[in-house]
């Protein structure tokens, strides 16, 4: 279940069928795999690589900040997956449409990320380099201690997010051609 009830809505649109697909889809997973639930975005990307095949380019971004600007470059549609912290129950999934407007910076923990995801997206918007469609999946983190593994709630949410992203990319009318 997502916090805004919009899961499954497709965020992938193809601007032109005649030319190459303009909606190059990229999935970017962010997180620190040594810090418990903070790894969830990274692990989602790792698993989505096999699930999505050539429907999307998948990037394991690790601990990243402003570098996101570069990682999003050239994509028409971006799915960002990251751990968030807003005080809700661990494992809660937030689906946020960053194309529509700013997303809440307070959601994203600063602990391992240079500059928060929300801030980088706003920087991209300000500089006019925000991809056309940016969907952020934020998974509420619980335990982020170094050396711990994912908590059961976040492991469950991980499976759910993989399915949600798969459905969204399935709904895409075109596929990427990734060389």
Partner 1 sequence: MKGQEGNNPEEAKTRTIAVGAIARVEGEGALRVTVKDGAVQDVELRIFEPPRFFEAFLQGRHYHEVPDIVARICGICPVAYQMSAVHAIERIFGLHVEGSLRELRRLIYCGEWIESHALHVYMLQAPDFLGYESGIAMAKDHAGVVTRGLRIKKAGNAIMTLLGGRSVHPVSVKVGGFSRVPRRRELDNLKDELLWARDAVVETVRWVTAFDYPEFAPDYTCVALRHPDEYPFNEGRIAAGNGPDISVDAFEQHFTEHQVPYSNALQCALQGAPYLVGPLARINLNHDRLPPPVTQVLADTGVSLPLRNPFHGIVARSIEMLYALEESLRVIERYEPPSEPSLPVTVRAGTGMACTEAPRGILYHRYRVDGDGIIREAKIVPPTSQNQGRIEEDLRLFLPRVLNRSNEEASLACERVIRCYDPCISCATHFLKLEIQRDQ
Q: Give the interface with partner 1 as residue ranges (CB under 8 A).
A: 32-35, 61-67, 69-70, 106, 109-115, 119, 122-123, 126-127, 145-147
Minimum distance from residue 22 beta carbon to partner 1 (Å): 24
Between 80 and 174, CB nearer to partner 1: 80
Minimum distance from residue 112 beta carbon to partner 1 (Å): 5
Between 60 and 168, CB nearer to partner 1: 60
Asked if 118 contacts 108 with a C-beta cutoff of 8 angstroms, the reply is: yes
Distance CA 41, CA 81 (A): 5
Q: Of 63, 148, 147, nearest to 108 (Cα)?
A: 63
Residue with tokens 């056309």: 132
Minimum distance from residue 67 beta carbon to partner 1 (Å): 7
Minimum distance from residue 118 beta carbon to partner 1 (Å): 10
Between 111 and 159, CB nearer to partner 1: 111
Helix axes 152-170, 40-52, angle to 10 degrees: 40
Please state the separation of Cα 162 from the chain's center in Å. Answer: 10
């Amino acid at each position: 279940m997502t916090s805004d009830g919009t899961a499954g809505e497709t965020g992938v649109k193809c601007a032109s069928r005649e030319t190459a697909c303009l909606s190059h889809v990229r999935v970017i997973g962010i997180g620190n795999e040594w810090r418990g639930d903070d790894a969830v975005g990274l692990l989602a990307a790792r698993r989505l690589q096999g699930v999505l095949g050539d429907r999307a380019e998948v990037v394991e971004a690790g601990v990243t900040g402003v570098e996101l600007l570069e990682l999003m470059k050239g994509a028409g549609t971006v799915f960002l997956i990251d751990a968030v912290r807003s005080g809700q129950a661990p494992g809660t999934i937030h689906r946020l449409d960053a194309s529509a407007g700013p997303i809440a910076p307070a959601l994203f923990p600063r602990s391992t990320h240079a500059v928060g995801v929300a801030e980088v997206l706003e920087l991209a918007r300000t500089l006019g380099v925000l991809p056309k469609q940016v969907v952020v999946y934020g998974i509420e983190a619980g335990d982020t201690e170094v050396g711990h593994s994912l908590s059961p709630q976040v492991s469950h949410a991980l499976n759910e997010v993989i399915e949600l992203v798969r459905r969204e990319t399935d709904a895409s009318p075109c596929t990427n051609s990734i060389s």
